[in-house]
Amino acid sequence: MGETTSNEIRQSWQDRVADKKSRILASIPKEFDHPELTHSLEDTASVQDVPQKYLSAKELGITALDASSLVVAIREKKYTSVEVLNAFTHRAAIAHRLLHCCLALPYDLALARAKELDAFLDKTGETVGPLHGLPISVKDQCRLIGTETTCGFVYPIGNVDKDDAAVVKILKDAGANIFAKTSLSIGCMWGETVNNILGRASNPFNRSFSCGGSSGGEGALIGFKASPLGFGSDLGGSIRSPSAYQGLYGLRPSSGRVPYYRMLNSMEGQQTIVSVVGPMARSIDDIEMIMKVIISSSPWTLDPYCVPIAWRTDAVNEITNRKLRIGVFEWDGVCLPQPPIRSALKRTAAALQAAGHETIPWKIDQQRATELVLKVFRSDAAGDIRRQCAKSGEPPMESGCDTPDPALGITQSWDLAMECLDFRAAVLEQWNQTADASKGLPPMDAYIAPVVPAVAPRHGDYSKVRYFAYTATVNLLDYTACTFPTGFVDPALDLPDDTSLVKDAQGGSLPPPTCERDETIRRRYDPEVYNGLPVCLQLVGRKLEEEKVVGMMKIIRDLLN
């Protein structure tokens, strides 16, 4: 064969993208599709009320339920699996038109599955498993038999999965119905969901804002109530930033609790800081339910990296029946959180104190942590992402792997791994020192912190306000973390800082900006522009303490409510 010209390659990837996009829309039943709805990156209005115009009363009722309530409703035959699937598919079709958040809506596969589940329940009176009939969405890293898994790249388009990711197999065996695969950034290495297939995904609370990344399609879909529960992945904050921007609970488990095997990824084999898969949901009860299901399935029999630790219900119960010691991480001395986030931290700390829990100041050297994380992410000088893009001819996009420096050699990589280990050991000792031996008090149980310093970035602004130290430090430490909603931006309450930036709206002193990025983040906040956006924080526990974090999360939820 003759040489392929660059124009032929370019046309080839563009044709594949056009085919993929048309097939996504063609997979939606006509009665669920509304072509008059269009995607926008400029529309500032919330689209949360749009489903009211298109969904039936029954569909609205179904999609208003969280996952825990849905499995009960299906088990008790209030709704069939088909009815629940159709309601969420209808809402997801609207979400995709408005937000560009879905890379697959395999309705035919999901409908066949729902019919099988209904037939089984009718015949036996029993459910297939604890998730019987529950529609679940997954980030398009999760291989699902009969679909394409892209990881945001063009080259996998047309390659149909013949195996399920380990986590998908567990969900299916428990009775779940995987009905949507969601958009992400190329190679999962950017904090905004944008790729050459769908372009940018938008935030349902304000479409001129980002839905986050790299699991932003998942965040947008669940935030629009078009999925009751889903799974994202998190290497530097990719579950937590989309969860924060959409007001969700998003759990970043420690590595080894939820199986990652057979998920598609970039930089595969990089083990110094590992990506993890975790749930995103509307309630902490849903997080607890799905984690119980996954870990009760003995995932260590499917994934050699999973640790053989059963779900410890006693740890959840123990933590909910005693007083807590919670660290409060207000800011790291580099990028100050915007006023709504600072206010949320104060309210949460005050609520804990009022309930008799102890709060203590906490701070980690996140500047050093970020240096280490970026060295790891840039260790191949974006070589892997460029190679994956070259397979189709698609142009590479901005990523967290970009660097002018050459790729690290093997001994340099080993040295970097040891630097990361030393940092982990130093923070471990710092945490241990929060114990108060004179009072017989153990080390702090967890700490609350910002997820990111900005409530959310506007489209095209992410590079200027990008600061992932609050999340990526947790990845470096491999700690357990969960985002939680605290409310929404209220212009009457969340006033901007003084234009000098050294005083807040009440005249209290603020530290002067430390750098251009810090100043940009502070000046970007406008309460009228940010009005109605969700405000979230994260709770961070130690390694492999998922049960304990869930228990503490329940306490904080009840206090804030």
Give tens-digit pLDDT for 506-542.
Answer: 999 999 999 999 999 999 999 999 999 999 999 999 9
pLDDT (average), residues 137-158: 98
| pLDDT, position 4 | 44
Q: Tell me how far CA of residue 98 lies from CA of 101, 111, 144, 485, in angstroms.
A: 8, 23, 25, 24
| pLDDT, position 6 | 54
| pLDDT, position 400 | 84
Give 117's contacts (C-beta < 8 A, 6+ positions apart): 81, 128, 132, 133, 175, 177
Q: Which residue has the tokens 């304990």?
A: 548
Structure tokens at 417: 């791994």
Is the domain 10-304+318-560 a CATH 3.40.50.1220 member?
no
475-488 residue pLDDT tens: 999 999 999 999 99
Indicate the range of 4-8, 337-341, 428-432, 488-492 predicted with least confidence: 4-8
Cα 541 to chain center, whole Å? Answer: 17
Looking at every residue in the chain, the average pLDDT score rounds to 97
Q: Distance between CA 294 and CA 309 in Å, rounded?
A: 11
pLDDT (average), residues 409-429: 99
Amino acid at 555: I
Q: What percent of the chain has pLDDT over 70?
A: 98
Query: What's the pLDDT band for 11 if we cut at 50, 70, 90?
Result: low
Taking alpha carbons only, the member of 295, 291, 290, 292 closest to residue 306 is 295
Strand partners, 181: 104, 138
Work out the end-to-end distance of the chain between its first and last CA atoms, rounded to an integer number of angstroms: 67
| pLDDT, position 241 | 99
176-214 residue pLDDT tens: 999 999 999 999 999 999 999 999 999 999 999 999 999
| pLDDT, position 430 | 99
| pLDDT, position 398 | 86
Helix, strand or coil, per DSSP, at residue 540: strand
152-165 residue pLDDT tens: 999 999 999 999 99
Which amino acids are annotated catalytic? Answer: 139, 214, 238
pTM over cut 0.95: yes
| In contact, 227 and 219? CB cutoff 8 Å | no
Query: What's the pLDDT band for 43 if we cut at 50, 70, 90?
Result: very high
| In contact, 142 and 103? CB cutoff 8 Å | no
| pLDDT, position 441 | 96
Helix, strand or coil, per DSSP, at residue 210: strand
| pLDDT, position 3 | 44
Query: What's the pLDDT band for 2 if we cut at 50, 70, 90?
Result: very low
